[in-house]
Structure 1
Amino acid sequence: MRSAFAAVFAALFCLGGAAALMAEDLVIETFDSAPGTRWDYVADTVMGGVSTGQARFETERGVAFARLSGEVSTQNNGGFIQVRHRLQIPVPETAAGVRLIVRGNGEEYFVHLRTKGTRLPWQYYQAEFETTGEWREVQLPFDVFAPSGSLMRKTPTPGRVVSVGVVAFGRDHSARVDIREVGFYDR
């Protein structure tokens, strides 16, 4: 089964898809091939907030990455800026969590997952990670993702995840987080 799974994802990657199966990880993004067609910038301004920012796709010393930067403000019931990717392929049920390679300005950031069951804009699953000025790998098991509401499942189900967002959230601060790779890791 695993080799059939690997063959499918290898074929998708060879055909120009953004996904590749590497070792035990499913990499969904390396930001090196038109990432602006797959990632969206969203801010609290869609709900009346006043945070400002941007998502840019850059290359530095041959390394492609996304940079989410801006000013997060909790004024007017706001408090987030986000870069989000809607998944084109389902996450394998064997996935244990989200894997990122990131660096930043030393602030804490979040990964937000939306699933087939999170239909309202304020519904998501959230897990926190820290940044340093150096690239580092972050693994976030699904069981550390907290639901944003009490009527949601306790943890997200891998096969039901439909989007992944990297978010500066919840407090007034200057944000700058670079994301070099996004994917899922296996059990």
Structure 2
Amino acid sequence: MTTTPIPTAASGSGVLFDFAKPQSVTGWSSIDDSVMGGISKSTTKWDETDGSGALLFSGLMTTEQNGGFTSTLGPPDRSLGQVAAGAKALGVNAIGDGRTYVLQLRADQSGTDRWIARFTPVTKPDGTTGNLISIPLQSFAPVDRFLRPATASAPLDPANIVQISVYLIDEQVGNFRLAINQITAIR
């Protein structure tokens, strides 16, 4: 999948998460591979860079001791689907570290269907501003709770999104840092 930078003032978008203020990260939490015996470690907190707020997801990912993933999970919220209804893509405005991250959506009425798509935000030369990456909804693939390919109970409908999470997987070991300014629904 190719992610395409788009202008930051995308018309026809609805804001799902805006991390401009410290309280905007309330409900987000890190879950790491320690649930499987691994020793990867991440934190999720608010950070301000050059006057712009962001959810900062950072830490160390290792494959030692059966490890190999870190994640930050957003709070379950049925109003996400109301904002995302009719979207053709999701936009992630972020400053990355060259790694490829996974955006996971939980959808359907019970929130049991999971969908993922990969995205790679980069650090701009000045190191200060993020880029808005458009991830088309048709690029999201259904997965099970272990992020393995699965069969969805129904096609992905953005109106049924109830949770958004970000993962670092695929044996991308080492220190990582992802600052997300905003997640939007693009129509």
User: Hey, what does 1:48 align to over in structure 2?
Assistant: 37
Could you tell me how far 1:170 is from its partner in structure 2? 2.3
User: Hey, what does 2:118 align to over in structure 1?
Assistant: 128
Over 3 Å counting, the alpha-carbon distance change for 1:173 and 1:78 in structure 2 is: same
CA displacement 1:152-187 (0-9 Å, x = unmatched): 25752111111111221121423211101112111x
| 2:95 is equivalent to residue 99 of structure 1 | no
Amino acid at match of 2:184: G
What is the CA–CA distance in structure 2 between the aligned matches of 1:75 and 1:157, rounded to whole Å? 37
Amino acid at match of 1:136: N
Amino acid at match of 2:141: A
Amino acid at match of 1:145: F
Alignment of 1:59-78 (within 5 A): 59-78=48-67
Alignment of 1:1-187 (within 5 A): 23-33=11-21, 34-85=23-74, 86-91=76-81, 92-116=84-108, 119=112, 124-134=114-124, 135-148=130-143, 149-153=149-153, 155-174=155-174, 175-186=176-187
With a CA cutoff of 8 Å and minimum separation of 6, indicate the structure with the bigger relative contact order.
2
Could you tell me how far 1:108 is from its partner in structure 2? 1.0
What is the CA–CA distance in structure 1 between the aligned matches of 2:57 and 2:80, rounded to whole Å? 25
Q: Secondary structure at the match of 1:171?
A: coil
What is the CA–CA distance in structure 2 between the aligned matches of 1:77 and 1:152, rounded to whole Å? 28
Could you tell me how far 1:100 is from its partner in structure 2? 0.8
Q: Is the 8 A contact 1:67 1:179 kept in 2?
A: yes
What is the CA–CA distance in structure 1 between the aligned matches of 2:42 and 2:131, rounded to whole Å? 23
Identical counterparts, % of pairs: 22
CA displacement 1:108-137 (0-9 Å, x = unmatched): 111011113553xxx621111112112111
Amino acid at match of 1:58: D
- Structure 2: which 5+ runs fail to align? 1-9, 125-129, 144-148
What is the CA–CA distance in structure 1 between the aligned matches of 2:100 and 2:154, rounded to whole Å? 23
Could you tell me how far 1:47 is from its partner in structure 2? 3.5
CA displacement 1:68-100 (0-9 Å, x = unmatched): 111222344432212222235142431112111
List 4+ stretches of structure 1 deviating above 4 A: none
Over 3 Å counting, the alpha-carbon distance change for 1:29 and 1:105 in structure 2 is: same
Normalising by structure 1, we get a TM-score of 0.76
Amino acid at match of 1:38: G
Over 3 Å counting, the alpha-carbon distance change for 1:176 and 1:90 in structure 2 is: closer
Q: How many corresponding residue pairs?
A: 162
Q: Is the 8 A contact 2:90 2:184 kept in 1?
A: yes
Q: Is the 8 A contact 2:15 2:184 kept in 1?
A: yes
Q: Secondary structure at the match of 1:152?
A: coil
- Structure 1: which 5+ runs fail to align? 1-21
Over 3 Å counting, the alpha-carbon distance change for 1:71 and 1:125 in structure 2 is: same
